Structure 1
Amino acid sequence: MENRTGVTEFLLLGLTDDPHLQLPLFLTFFLIYTITVAGNLGMILLILLDSRLHSPMYFFLGHLSLVDFCSSSVVTPTVMAGLLTGNKVISYNACVAQMFLFAVFICVENYLFAVMAYDRYAAVCKPLHYTTIMTTKVCVGLVLGCYICSLLNACIQIGDTFSLSFCNYNLVHHFFCDIPALMVLSCSDKHVSELVLVYLVSFHIFFAFLVISASYIFIFGTILRMHSDTGYRKALSTCASHFTAVSIFYGTNIFMYLRPTSSYSMDTDKISSVFYTIVIPMLNPMVYSLRNKEVHNAFLKIKHLFILSKLNKI
């Protein structure tokens, strides 16, 4: 993308200027990122290795783990490097790349939650037809659709943001190149760009949220009509993890993006951004594994095979 503003780099002011907090924050983010990488890559590995997890639900969950790993890796290492070295300068092109990749992954996650809600609807409301509804071809098509829509969305958002002029003012009051934080710096008329951002994000969030809401209305209706306690508990269990993850994800993103930058509070939004860029990717594998017996059994199976292989070598 052509740099039309004269700005060649941005200075990310980060979370705090207090030198006494730099090391504790670095250690905190290092721990969170380590758990994020281990949790998400571990989930992907379990799904690949255990044939019992080769189902549509875990196919989507594997992609969710991949997206969480990627979105966290786009932001967290840069934040940690800035805290450790004190160098918070990011080049113009690196800022564009970071913003583009994060916009792609956050949008993919948004649509994956909708796809997973539809999958749960099919499993709970149409159990006899589930295998014919959620075929391999359908699952692959839904995931490809998530990525294609997200790429188009990112292209529009990034093109819209970097069509603005920054007038050589490059101090970003944030810890990564986020769209609202960059728009605040612009000295050109950004009213249209703000509207594009709000309407575009609103469309993606509310379309996915509509699918999720409709799916859960049918799911809860089906659950209430169940006469079997076992079926009732099983249906609730299969939806509880997804519902928890959806609530966390949409709560922070709606607060962050669905308002004009004129009401943009830097310090408040930085705290919110830490949550949805760094903490949520760590929480998702925990949410989906803590109460999931199939994941527990797969983990124990892989652990048992690993121990046996070590004993055989001895």
Structure 2
Amino acid sequence: MNRKRGVAGIWILAAVLIVLTAAGVFYYNKVYKPSLEQATAQSTSYNVNGQGPQKTGKRTLIAENDGVSVYKDGDYAIIVHGDTEAEFADWNENFGSTNTRVYLQDFDQNGRADIILLDEETPAGSDETQPLYGLYVLTPSESGGKDPYTVHYTNAENWLAYFNGIVTCYLSRPQAYPNLLQFVMDYSTTNVQFDAQTGLALPEFRAYYTNAPRAQDGSYADVDSIRLAPAVISYDEDENVAHAQIPVYALYKNADEQQIGNITVGIELRNDTLSIRAKSVVYAPLEELAAAAPQR
């Protein structure tokens, strides 16, 4: 059985209201952050009529580059590189059906060539504005034997779940600056704190600001929650770097949902696992919405 490693699970985002105390007086500073509730893990393996994966006996070439050929035969993905051929029957059910790209690079920087695959997995009927991809990194197996590669895999939902387990994002409309939205992100183990009078994040926490939209009555829209969309995974062949871009949306009680920015995260193979690359997490508000930080 070929080994496959990666992150799994789907996380549901929910609004959390944090109660702050100042000078003995209670008030509510509405700070919303994703809640980490784990749902049932999803597997990429599947079963056909209870009979397991099947072959048709006819190979279809779906991608080719750098001397690597990728074929599909029924439920099997087949990778051919030189004299090495490997079959995989537990990949995404629709692997190779839309858009598949293959690269040959030393992804983990250990001096050995790896096979990198991007395979489009955008669900049918999806309203996503950009294609969603699964990322497969095939590293030469250390043990040899019948499995020539170890497969490391993640996709849009899995990477978002993994990211949410490490980083927490906060969205608020500071009470002293109702025309602004304040976005803060930090490690989930960090207790981000806010000024009791202004609602601004304390100076030691990096905050980003966008202009708040107005509701139909002309008032500034009330924040209801924050939503992180599935990660858009890409691979830069020239730089030999994989990235995940996570769109950030503000949900309002009295206005339409609005994208306010993007989180970009580098992906690396570390300790045999696809992980967040060190010092690679960056947030950028949408240029047309960006606002200057308030004067303290």
TM-score, normalised on structure 1? Answer: 0.26
Higher helix share: 1
Task: Give 1 or 2 for the bigger CA radius of gyration.
Answer: 2
TM-score, normalised on structure 2? Answer: 0.27
